[in-house]
Amino acid sequence: MKKTKYAAVGTGGRIPMFIDPIVNRFHDDAEVVGLCDPSAVRRTYHQKRLSERYGIAPIPTYEDFDTMMAEQKPDVVIVCTPDYLHHEFVVRALDLGADAISEKPLTTDAEKCGQIFEAVQRTGRSVRTTFNMRWTPGVSLVKELIASGEIGTVKHINFEYLLNTSHGADYFRRWHSHKECSGGLLIHKSTHHFDILNWWLDAIPERVHAQGGLVFYGQENAIARGDEKLTRYPRYTDTPEAAEDPFRLSLHDDPNMVGLYHNAEAETGYIRDQNVFREGIDIEDSMSLLIKYRTGAMINYSLNAYCPREGFRACISGDKGRIEYDVRHASHIVTGGTEVKITDEDAGETLCVQKMFSEARQIEIPKAEGGHGGGDPLLQEQMFAAHPPADPLMRSAGHEQGAASLLIGAAGNKAMATGQPVLINDLLSLKPGAIHLSELI
């Protein structure tokens, strides 16, 4: 049987989620034929890591994307570059005859998203967006309960997401802290949350109101609350003055960080461990949205990136009852080879269902092994196995469902900037006349 050929562009900390399972678990069905990155240090780091860990021949590496495409002729390109470049490589891959898998978010704004839509229409190729949160057992179970009519038709959801001072702070150390690169947390992080809300409701978003700001991180905020001493150094690694800083991250503490980032600094100029209380951060760390759907459902959404704990709470109200889903995450930081877990003894999740005029009951959530609460292995199987198992919950997402998520964030960014509500279709039209997310690819 002919193997599906995959090439990857962008070889930072996220790419192992894609290339490692191909090499390790799905090598009978698929193969990685090329790694592309402007950094020779990063691409050769993964080339060597894969060879040593899995005993395979060195995978060819490339600085130039078109050269890789011409020489390797992959069937699918995996795009894991910084977010603002996703559209460029997705479009180029399609034009050069390959399908694409884009790490979330699909891209960072409506204009770039429109370019992907045009390329799909022009080439007839396909684009998949990776939403591993759909595949976690608890999130999937909530979907099953809603779809079964357990609480009737969902009318309203309160969704609060908490990022802590370890994981949340990490977005403010790196390129994500610049809106031109990441679109802000409403794009880069919240796209996960907006996607599961869209998917739970099986609905297409219509209108967004938003408020937000940078209220904790950044130099000005630190000085205002009396933490000026935490602003005195540009980075943490090899900085003696930062030794007692609770926000400190030393790249030397993780060999993956050293191999991918510290060793590449002279080549790339990229500093992975910048001070979270420096000048120049222009993304928000506190955001609140009101979202209205074409079905009439409403959502109150909030994200705060400076909380003492990590997790989320979803309160889902239907016309026959209510679901309360509470998740406490152990924090983590993504490195070049693994997700480094930060122990939290209180980590866990609870799911409560209460129908009207009935007693509340607790629902047991199945346990699963693997990254992102067990979601990663299931998503990887769907992407890379030649014959993946049937998925009645329809958890795979194409470019239109990927757009439905990122456009909420894009609308939120515009609403925060203008103070006015924003219609999704004024940014990019999502299948006029359609109501349900399942009507989108």
DSSP string computed for 227-247: -GGGGS-SBSTT-GGGTT-TT
Q: Does the CA dihedral 289-306-324-104 come out positive or negative? A: positive
Do 196 and 309 have their domain in common?
A: yes
At 372 the pLDDT is 76
Which residue, of 98, 130, 162, is where some domain finishes? 130
Instruction: Give the residue carrying structure tokens 């490589």.
Output: 89
At 342 the pLDDT is 53
At 374 the pLDDT is 84
Do 190 and 303 have their domain in common?
A: yes
The reply to whether 273 falls in a domain is: no
pTM of the model: 0.95
Do 124 and 137 have their domain in common?
A: no
Q: Domain tally for the chain?
A: 3
Do 15 and 109 have their domain in common?
A: yes
Which residue, of 268, 289, 306, is where some domain finishes? 268
* Cβ contact 61:35 at 8 Å: yes
Do 225 and 139 have their domain in common?
A: no
Query: Which residues of the chain are modeled with pLDDT < 70?
Result: 331-332, 334-346
**Which structural domain range is residue 31 located in?**
4-130
| Residue 344: how many other CB atoms lie within 10 Å | 17
At 99 the pLDDT is 98
Phi-psi label, residue 357: left if phi above 0, alpha if psi -120 to 50, beta otherwise: left
| Residue 423: how many other CB atoms lie within 10 Å | 12
Report d(CA 206, CA 435) in Å as an integer: 10
Strand order in the sheet with 397-398: 61-62, 30-36, 4-9, 76-79, 99-103, 127-130, 397-398
CATH of the domain at 27: 3.40.50.720
Do 297 and 206 have their domain in common?
A: yes
- The distance of Cα 331 from the centroid of its chain, to the nearest Å, equals 15
The reply to whether 112 falls in a domain is: yes
Instruction: Name the nearest CA neighbour of 57 among 36, 91, 31.
Output: 31
The reply to whether 179 falls in a domain is: yes
Do 319 and 178 have their domain in common?
A: yes
* Cβ contact 136:379 at 8 Å: no
Do 38 and 138 have their domain in common?
A: no
Do 252 and 124 have their domain in common?
A: no
Do 261 and 313 have their domain in common?
A: no
Residue 340's SS3 state is strand
Do 199 and 183 have their domain in common?
A: yes
At 336 the pLDDT is 56
At 337 the pLDDT is 55
The reply to whether 384 falls in a domain is: no
The reply to whether 182 falls in a domain is: yes
DSSP character at residue 4: E
At 156 the pLDDT is 98
The reply to whether 275 falls in a domain is: no
Do 301 and 207 have their domain in common?
A: yes
At 340 the pLDDT is 52
The reply to whether 276 falls in a domain is: no
Report d(CA 410, CA 53) in Å as an integer: 40
The reply to whether 263 falls in a domain is: yes
Segment 257-280, tens digit of pLDDT: 999 999 999 999 999 999 999 999
